[in-house]
Amino acid sequence: MSYKSKLLGATLLTASGAFATGAYADVCDTPSALADLGNFAGETVTVAGSWQGKDEENVVAVMDCFAKATGATIKYSGSADFTSLIVADLESGNAPNIAVFPQPGLAADMAAEGHLVALGDDKAAWMNENYGAGSSWSALGTYAGPDGSNAFYGFAYKMDVKSLVWYSPEGFEDNGYEIPSSMEELIALSDQMVADGNTPWCIGIESGGATGWTSTDWMEDLMLRTASPEAYDQWVSNELPFNSPEVLNAMEVFGSFSRNDDYVAGGSAAVATTFFGDAPKGLFTSPASCMMHRQASFIPAFFPQEGAEVENGEADFFYFPPYASAELGN
């Protein structure tokens, strides 16, 4: 097998859609007929990613449509340790045909080392024409190759909304809590919850070899709410070091949530050892072990009923708010 791998897509920062839901009994029975995708009978396509559980069921259902239309065999392998496994596989020459990267940064690193195959300018042009703000998406999949020249490697496939805070509407109503519209109000609400004998937050960052990525999501949100957009971009490009005042300030704010024993279910020591997918389950215990959980739109797949809680009104979300005292994060 070739040591190179094509990048199917990255889990990026925008609206998300479910794969295998809707009014169609057969997920392949879409409003528009599947185009002629060719005949790949006898061919096997290997795909690796981080999707497991309900997310894996959904994406496999979509892949099955491709198999049904083309005769190809699709073999998907999902792992919570994808980020470490894919690097090892690429560097050892045991790469899948398609790798689903959750981080564009890691994909860029692999492209620079020569492990990815460029998808072609025509694919980037298609994305530009057919995706809303398409040029933004194609830019996130465009990286410098081993020779330093840019090429399009990453086709954004599944996207999730970040900056969401999940909660139980019933729990809020029973306690008389209102949805906060500013960071100041969110902090005041957290303090009120503590005073009422409730625990405001469930936070978990354990994720195997990728442990800590949920902390980076908090940091990204807080950088956008405490520093300028220019400073954020400089931080992303590594021009602004982690010991800069802007980044240290965001860390301090994150610590005021995650290192506060009164704020976190299980105390601050539980943050590093709680699997990120288990963290939101505290919203649904009786009594609830926490009142809020900050996570992206994919997280209902990890709820006890795999997202049915959203449909039946047991769970909802609000925007992780900006500071009223600063014109940032809006």
Region 232-236: mean pLDDT is 92
pLDDT tens per residue across span 239-255: 999 999 999 999 999 99
3-state SS class at 167? strand
d(CA 264, CA 282): 11
- pLDDT for residue 192: 98
H helix intervals, 154-281:
169-175, 183-195, 213-226, 229-236, 245-258
pLDDT tens per residue across span 255-310: 999 999 999 999 999 999 999 999 999 999 999 999 999 999 999 999 999 999 99
Contact (CB, 8 A) for 328 and 230: no
Confidence class for position 1, pLDDT limits 50, 70, 90: very low
Residue tagged 């690193």 (tokens): 109
Q: 31-40, 180-189, 209-218, 306-315 — which is least confidently predicted?
A: 31-40
Residue tagged 């409730």 (tokens): 198
Element (H, E) at 138: helix 134-140
Report which of 283, 304, 313 is spatially closest to residue 199, judged by C-alpha positions: 283
Confidence class for position 170, pLDDT limits 50, 70, 90: very high
pLDDT score of 19 more than 80: no
| Domain locations along the chain | 6-160, 164-319
| pTM for the predicted model, two decimal places | 0.81
Element (H, E) at 61: helix 53-70
Q: 15-19, 73-77, 191-195, 260-264 — which is least confidently predicted?
A: 15-19
Strands 142-144 and 159-160, sheet pairing: unpaired
**Residue 48 CB neighbour total at 10 angstroms:** 23
Report which of 250, 271, 247 is spatially closest to residue 259, judged by C-alpha positions: 271
Question: For domain 6-160, is the CATH number 3.40.50.2300?
Answer: no
- pLDDT for residue 25: 44
Q: What are phi and psi of 185, to 5 degrees?
A: -70, -35
Note if the bond before 287 is cis, omega within 30 degrees.
yes
Residue tagged 């215990």 (tokens): 285
Element (H, E) at 82: helix 82-92
Report which of 22, 217, 3 is spatially closest to residue 117, judged by C-alpha positions: 3
Q: How far is CA 188 from CA 17, 22, 182, 220, 290, in A?
A: 33, 39, 10, 22, 16
Contact (CB, 8 A) for 83 and 209: yes
Higher pLDDT, 16 or 291: 291
d(CA 167, CA 272): 22
Strands 164-167 and 292-294, sheet pairing: antiparallel
Both tokens of 231, joined, read: 């400073």
Report which of 217, 229, 186, 218 is spatially closest to residue 329, judged by C-alpha positions: 229
- pLDDT for residue 15: 29
| Longest alpha-carbon distance in the chain | 64
Report which of 240, 249, 241, 183 is spatially closest to residue 219, judged by C-alpha positions: 249
Q: Quickly name the fold that domain 164-319 has.
A: D-Maltodextrin-Binding Protein; domain 2 (3.40.190)
